[in-house]
Amino acid sequence: MNSLVTNIDENVMKLLHYFITVKGYNPIVLHGAENEIWLENMDSDYRIVRIVSNYIHNDEQFKFDLFRTKQIVKKIKKQTFSLNMNTLSFFINLGDNVNIEKFNNSNNIVVSVKDMNDLKSNSIVMKSFPDIANGTDFKETGIELFMKLTEDINKKNEKDNSIAADIFKRKVPYITLGIILINFIIFLLTYLFGNGSRDIITLVNFGALYKPLVLDGEYYRLITCAFLHIGVWHLLVNSYSLYIIGSQLETFLGRIKFSFVYLISALSGSLMSIIFGSSVSVGASGAIFGLLGSLLYFGYNYRVFLGNVMKSQIIPLIILNLGLGFMFSGIDNAAHIGGLIGGVLSTMAVGLKHKTSTFEKVNGFIVLVIYILFLGYVGIFR
């Protein structure tokens, strides 16, 4: 009996070591899940991997396990905004009476592993993980094997924790505070050197977005308009929104990338406003919507951490504000939509630290350039 238990435990540790240290999977904490380990990797063909050491002796017990698994996967799909979530389950202690072949389907693959050599004979596993046989082959056994695998997994976890701390650790949002300060300074200047923030002529003189002047070559207005506001209430609402959203996103992206996303979002919002409107337009809301789009893109790529935040806060906030823009006059919703799209595309272009490859960033930058050139052609040069 002891040798059997030891063999089961060793197989669990070998698979756990392979998927965590080699394939970059992360553990999922599930309450009430005994004798099984759940791992996730949203970038893998099989986003969920289960390692089940619980003894299952017949088809009925096996059916119940798959039913319970399906319910858990549904919850994870909702949390991570995933339309499809393939699951790969390794059963380490499966009874001989269970016929797993009739339970396999394209979304849920089940594999019996009584010996690690069983992996080599499974074509589905070998197709997706061709190095799994070598990755689970160790000379060490018993306590020596456990110590080695545990040490490797701990090192991987320490590295992942370091990366998470680097991304999510709160930092002073200097750029966000600087933008807010500039907005307040320009707001005061409209009263010192003009007739105030509600005077159209003063706003135009300070760089408001006005289509005839932009078409006449004053392209700087596409950016300067984002630093102007009409009245104290407009300034305070945008400043508060910018602080709440910007301070978070600046922490996630870093100052340089955040600055790029903000300015491109402002530009994108202004170009969209030029296409669909002709009145004088000012305000940081287009750029702020860009930050929401950027946060949406970031949250989707880190949805294991921010899935609930996206569902309960980010998406409802975007929908609510766009809805208000369509319901009430005087709101430049074209700028909001343009900023939102610009925020997503500019974040794709700069990439996410520890997440985006150079190839993905190059593709994102190409898409962003094409998008901005298209808006510029339609809004200004056509």
Q: 81-112, pLDDT tens digit by residue?
A: 777 888 999 999 888 888 787 777 767 888 88
Long-range contacts, stretch 363-371, CB < 8 angstroms, 24+ apart: 368/264, 368/342, 371/268, 371/341, 371/342, 371/345
Q: What is the 3-state secondary structure (H, E, C) of the chain?
A: CHHHHHHHHHHHHHHHHHHHHHCCCEEECCCCCCCEEEEECCCCCCCEEEEECCCECCHHHHHHHHHHHHHHHHHHHHHHCCCCCCEEEEECCECCCCCHHHHCECCEEEEECCCHHHHHHCHHHHHHCCCHHHHCCCCCCHHHHHHHHHHHHHHHHHHHHHHHHHHHCCCCCHHHHHHHHHHHHHHHHHHHCCCCCCCHHHHHHCCCECHHHHHCCCCCHHHHHHHCCCHHHHHHHHHHHHHHHHHHHHHHHCHHHHHHHHHHHHHHHHHHHHHHCCCCECCCHHHHHHHHHHHHHHHHHCHHHHHHHHHHHHHHHHHHHHHHHHHCCCCCHHHHHHHHHHHHHHHHHHCCCCCCCHHHHHHHHHHHHHHHHHHHHHHHHC
pLDDT band at 66 (very low <50, low <70, confident <90, very high): confident
For the segment 233-240, the average pLDDT, to the nearest whole number, is 93
* pLDDT higher than threshold 60 for residue 3: no
Rounded to two decimals, what is the model's pTM? 0.81
How far is 327 from 92, CA to CA, in rounded Å? 58
170 pLDDT higher than 70: yes
Higher pLDDT, 6 or 143: 143
pLDDT score recorded for residue 103: 74
Of 3-17, 319-333, 342-356, highest mean pLDDT:
342-356
What average pLDDT score do residues 66-95 get? 85
Is-contact 116 11, C-beta < 8 A?
A: yes
Report the DSSP pairing between strands 108-112 and 48-52: unpaired
Per-residue pLDDT tens over the stretch 148-165? 888 998 998 888 888 888
* Half-sphere exposure for 36 (CA within 13 Å, toward CB): 24
* Stronger pLDDT, 79 or 190, i.e. the higher one: 190
In the chain, what percentage of residues exceed pLDDT 90? 51
